[in-house]
């Protein structure tokens, strides 16, 4: 090989090496740049994902905070903090000890300040309300009116029981919802005289509507649970739900009254006059709702107008210790004659409300004696509230 050829090949080899090195260097630079961009992009994606995760988590926390509202619970305080005589309440307890009174809860200024339970009972015990159920049904009826399912208390009941129009009784045709609410329907019946026969009948509604109406509606007070049962049947017709179902949706659930139960007749109509049951805390809640003029946790559960109408004097009785509203009794208590209203049931089931004192008293019993013992207890509790 000539010296010239050897030098030319050597130059070509060097050029090739240089080009190869340049290619390697350029490739390395490109790879590094791309990898940096990829890393930055991946970091951006990761950062975006993390940000979204935080946002999603924040949103989730907000949703949980919104959906898992704390359940309302009774707060407790001492008698002294609400200016109530401790010795007077001790005396009330001594009186309760002597009678078959099973539970008592006193609420003052929105908190429980006293509770009493006989052995075997506590705040979770479910008690039959007997005729205290009537005040529950009245409240549910008011809600049905508030929501437009029922027009007003002046509607003839023949709108819901058209068979009345075929009757020869003009008095029967005159009966309105208001007459049922005030036990002034004129039916010649009473719980004393008709209870067992009525409850044993095949159809409670038909039994009531077949009773002769012997006094003009609105003129005579005659306490008969059949009146309230017709109210319950009207609620069911108007809302397509039983009184219990409608009440659960618009009254019991909003107040977390989770203990409420209710029986029915053989046709499945809620026993609105006698069939509700609940614990004493839920009884007190119901009283507190009325004391709050129908407002609970900022929501108007029952219109304040219905609260006012149903707990005001609607019929003044010629005898007895109390007058009547819409399925509520009204009278005064204490030395200062504070106006009050109350739900009352057989065997001593009571929800007392004294608005001027912001006082609620719930009592459950199984006592068949005179109701005067409860007036004594309430007078003593009211007088104990030094105001």
For the ranges 60-64, 77-81, 122-126, 362-366, the lowest mean pLDDT is seen at 60-64
pTM above 0.85, yes or no: no
Structure tokens at 330: 């009204």
Task: Kindly state the percentage of the chain with pLDDT values over 70.
Answer: 82
Does the pLDDT at position 31 exceed 90?
no
Does the pLDDT at position 375 exceed 70?
yes
354-359 contacts: CB < 8 A, separation 24 or more? Answer: 354/382, 355/291, 357/108, 357/382, 357/385, 357/387, 358/108, 358/109, 358/110, 358/291, 359/106, 359/107, 359/108, 359/385
Q: What is the mean pLDDT of residues 183-209?
A: 97
SS (H, E, C) 277-310: EECHHHHHHHHHHHHCCCEECCEECCCHHHHHHH
The vertex-379 CA angle with 87 and 288, nearest 5°, equals 95
For the ranges 19-33, 227-241, 290-304, 369-383, the lowest mean pLDDT is seen at 19-33
Does the pLDDT at position 15 exceed 60?
no
65-74 contacts: CB < 8 A, separation 24 or more? Answer: 71/256, 72/255, 72/256, 72/296, 72/297, 74/107, 74/111, 74/112, 74/281, 74/284, 74/285
Taken in order 166, 168, 169, 173, is the CA torsion positive or negative? positive
- Locate tokens 């549910």: which residue? 140
Rounded (10°) angle between helices 372-384 and 86-97? 160
Q: What is the mean pLDDT of residues 5-32?
A: 51
The number of C-alpha atoms within 13 Å of 271 and in the hemisphere containing its C-beta is 18
What's the Cα-to-Cα distance from 141 to each of 179, 239, 296, rounded to whole Å?
14, 10, 18
Higher pLDDT, 224 or 40: 224
Confidence of residue 70 (pLDDT cuts 50, 70, 90): low
Neighbours of 323 (CB within 10 A): 18
Confidence of residue 301 (pLDDT cuts 50, 70, 90): very high
């Amino acid at each position: 090989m000539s010296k010239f050829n050897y030098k030319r090949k050597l130059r070509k080899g060097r050029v090739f090496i240089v080009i190869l090195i340049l290619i390697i260097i350029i490739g390395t630079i490109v790879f590094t740049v791309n990898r940096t961009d990829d890393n930055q992009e991946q970091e951006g994606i990761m950062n975006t994902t993390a940000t979204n995760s935080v946002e999603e988590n924040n949103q989730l926390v907000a949703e949980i905070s919104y959906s898992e509202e704390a359940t309302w619970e009774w707060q407790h305080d001492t008698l002294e903090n609400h200016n109530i005589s401790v010795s007077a309440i001790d005396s009330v307890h001594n009186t309760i000890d002597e009678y078959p009174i099973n539970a008592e809860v006193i609420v003052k200024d929105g908190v429980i300040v006293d509770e009493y339970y006989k052995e075997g009972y506590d705040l979770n015990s479910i008690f039959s309300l007997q005729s205290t159920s009537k005040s529950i049904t009245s409240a549910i009826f008011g809600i049905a009116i508030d929501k437009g399912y029922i027009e007003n208390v002046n509607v003839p009941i023949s709108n819901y029981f058209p068979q009345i129009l075929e009757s020869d009784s003009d008095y029967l045709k005159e009966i309105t919802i208001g007459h049922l609410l005030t036990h002034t329907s004129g039916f010649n019946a009473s719980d004393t005289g008709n209870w067992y026969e009525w409850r044993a009948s095949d159809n409670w509604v038909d039994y009531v509507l077949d009773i002769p109406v012997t006094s003009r509606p609105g003129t005579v007070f005659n306490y008969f649970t059949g009146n309230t049962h017709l109210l319950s049947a009207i609620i069911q017709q108007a809302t397509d739900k039983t009184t219990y179902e409608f009440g659960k949706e618009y009254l019991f659930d909003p107040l977390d009254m989770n203990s409420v139960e209710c029986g029915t007749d053989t046709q499945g109509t809620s026993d609105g006059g006698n069939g509700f049951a609940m614990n004493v805390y839920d009884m007190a809640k119901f009283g507190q709702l009325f004391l709050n003029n129908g407002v609970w946790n900022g929501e108007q559960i029952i219109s304040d107008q219905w609260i006012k109408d149903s707990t005001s004097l609607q019929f003044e009785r010629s005898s007895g210790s109390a007058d009547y509203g819409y399925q509520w009794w009204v009278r005064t208590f204490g030395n200062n004659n504070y106006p009050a209203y109350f739900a009352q049931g057989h065997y001593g089931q009571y929800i007392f409300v004294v608005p001027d004192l912001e006082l609620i008293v719930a009592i459950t019993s199984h006592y068949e004696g005179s109701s005067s013992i409860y007036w004594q207890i309430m007078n003593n509790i009211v007088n104990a509230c030094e105001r």
